[in-house]
Amino acid sequence: METDPRSRERKSWPPDLISEVLRDIEDNNLSTSAAAKKYGIPRSTLVEKRSGKSAIDATNGRPNVMTKEEEETVKKYTEYRNQAGHPIDRTTVLSIATAVHRKYCEANGVEPKFDLNKGPSNNWWLSFKKRQGMLLRKPDPLDRARKDAIDESTINDFFTKYKAVMEKYGLTNAPHRIYNADETGFSLDPQKKKIVTFKSLSGAAPSVRPGSRDHITVLECASADGNAIPPLIIFSKNFPSSAYKLDGPPNALYASTSSGFIEAPVFLNWLKSGFHRFASQERPVLLLADQHSTHITFEVLEFAITHDIIILTFPPHATHILQPLDAKAGPFLAMKTKFTTVIHHLTVAKPNFYVTKTSFPRIYRTVREEALTMAAVRRGFKKTGIFPVNPDELDRRWLKMNELPGATTGATTGEIEENIKARDLLPVELDVLQLAEIAAAQEPPRPDGKRNNKVRSETGRKLLDIEEEMLQLAEAEVAADAAAHQTTAIKKKPPPVKSQSTCPTCGASKAPQENALVASGIVPKYMADILTPIPPSRARNNRRIKPRAIVFDEAYVATLKEEAEAKENEKMRQQELRKVQREEKKRKAEEEKARKRMEREEKKRKREEKNTKSKKNAVQPVASTSTCPDTEEDEGEEAEVTEGEAFPPENRAELEGRKRRRVKKRMDCYDYDF
């Protein structure tokens, strides 16, 4: 059955092909019909292209609102944000498209094709998403520490050590002797899937939940050939009260911790009663694990060395791409999905069913039998490149996040680790150090043939006098700034720093730093001030220890013991030193206390002597013959004034003080209230 030609979808022809056909027509004097038959292009299309009625690069349908350059800019920047681990949503894409169109119109002097205040329409978004192959989906969460820790050098270092261990112990063709152990958690109150409700309801339908926040940790271990050893199930706080072991996984081990997570004694017990018992008896065997502190205690390492178990740990924060059980292709994701599905089916059959510690082993046995299969375990080892050994199997997008334009500062990891103190300086101080480096390289020799003896301890480089002065000024600025921030609780604007376009010392102009996205061709030059690269991670630049894999063999464990003994000895020495310092401080405090007590006693003795002497020298008041207290007081005051007038003026103040004290005593006796 023939179809109607009008119902066929119009085809868009590449501009390069159309240009080639038109050149062939002009150079070889071909007719339009002959060219149409030769290239398989409709004659009407060639006629329109040749006459200029239709542009060579024209497409079907209405013309696009934004040019191809603008759409390509939005697309590339969106791809860059996705690769860098900072994806954007639909609203952000529309905002970027509006900013790009505004800048494009300003740069080319054209009128905008849509309202810049409202942005492009939803129809444009749907068409743009279809043209660029975009879709909306939920992002994969990734911790910042994982993103900062992983790069090509870290992965290559792990596989180098892994291959060396396999060759040394003959594990290249022995997948049954290569194991991976890891923990995963299960909540006793998992979230439900989407439910069916009605529009007439005012809100979402309520879902009754047990309200328990308990979780259970499961330690699984499997070999590269797909076999899994019995698990370790760790309960939170206490064990269930009933017979929970009857329907659980066969030969499973059970433990209980206060937090519900694994602890060092529990892992050691599993290594003795679980792994050593059920793992391959052909030794040595390789155990791959993460660098959690419970996995690498001295007791664990001593037991492993004694029983020919080589422990190789993954680099920190790298298990999401290297650990076979926990990676995206590993069985843990399938197990958790299956666990949620089983709980959902149970609640359908019994609406008031809740997962408890007693019922968890029975449910987990069903989940484990269906999800932790040999095929799933082998797939996890293969997709992570562990067995067969193939680093190319890894998802490279995790490794390229720190290699995108603007993601690095230009310095290697080794340079960043060696230059620890320089990173804490201000930008003006870094410029000073750079100038000092240049000056040191051009330093003329001294007349006596010796070099300057001033050395900077951070780099070991000898500096000139002028450089030392510059560094001292920079350090003084840092100290003054720190003191200013400590003395005030109000955030103030930092002191103005000289622009980086000019040298802070000589004033020479420097070339401005170019946008890395412009240099790499992701965004055009006129968008350099809006679409900027994501700054590099400060935590990644400031890290002092590079993440690396560790092989805990006998030699490395002996080195760890020596370091631990040296650290313990140093700790004991520091404790003894602090003890001596405390005793010395206590002795000085007691001496100071005794000295102050003696001073107080001496002052008291002198004061008493002075008071005694004053009493002896004091003039006795005239006795009153009146029997009335008021009359006695008046006569006593009159006698005191008369006696005071007989003293010289220079002794009058001292006499008045003595009189006041005596009057006060007499008033206390008579209980007068003045």
Q: In this predicted structure, what is the pLDDT of residue 365? A: 95
Q: In this predicted structure, what is the pLDDT of residue 464? A: 54
Residue-wise pLDDT for 271-323, tens only, equals 999 999 999 999 999 999 999 999 999 999 999 999 999 999 999 988 889 99
Q: In this predicted structure, what is the pLDDT of residue 288? A: 97
Q: In this predicted structure, what is the pLDDT of residue 408? A: 58
CA count, 13 A, side-chain hemisphere, 218: 28
Domains, the chain, with CATH or none: 11-51 (1.10.10), 144-192+212-398 (3.30.420.10), 618-670 (no CATH)
| CB-based contact 368:249 (threshold 8 Å) | yes
Residue-wise pLDDT for 250-265, tens only, equals 999 999 999 999 999 9
Helix (H, G, I), strand (E, B) or coil at 217: strand
Q: In this predicted structure, what is the pLDDT of residue 444? A: 52
Q: In this predicted structure, what is the pLDDT of residue 189? A: 81
Name the pTM for this structure.
0.66
CA count, 13 A, side-chain hemisphere, 554: 5
- At CB < 8 A and 24+ separation, what contacts does 509-516 make? 516/405, 516/406
Beta-carbon contacts of 525 under 8 Å, excluding residues fewer than 6 positions away, are 518
Which of 58-67, 461-470, 534-543, 582-591 has the highest average model confidence (pLDDT)? 582-591
In the chain, pLDDT over 70 holds for what percent of residues?
73
Residue-wise pLDDT for 189-234, tens only, equals 877 677 888 888 877 788 887 777 788 999 999 999 999 999 999 9
CB-neighbour burial class of residue 166 (10 A; exposed 0-12, middle 13-18, buried 19+): buried
301, containing H or E segment: helix 298-306
Residue-wise pLDDT for 85-131, tens only, equals 889 999 999 999 999 999 999 999 999 999 999 999 999 999 999 98
Q: Which of 79, 69, 129 is nearest to 100 (CA)?
A: 69
The token duo for 601 is: 């006693």
Helix (H, G, I), strand (E, B) or coil at 150: coil
Average confidence (pLDDT) over 500-511: 52
Q: Which of 514, 509, 478, 500 is nearest to 431 (CA)?
A: 500
Residue-wise pLDDT for 582-626, tens only, equals 999 999 999 999 999 999 999 999 998 888 888 877 755 544 444
> Do you know the residue count of the chain?
674
User: pLDDT class for 170, splitting at 50, 70, 90?
Assistant: very high
| CB-based contact 458:421 (threshold 8 Å) | yes
The token duo for 423 is: 């990173």
Q: In this predicted structure, what is the pLDDT of residue 333? A: 92
**Alpha-carbon gap, residue 281 to 477, rounded angstroms:** 66
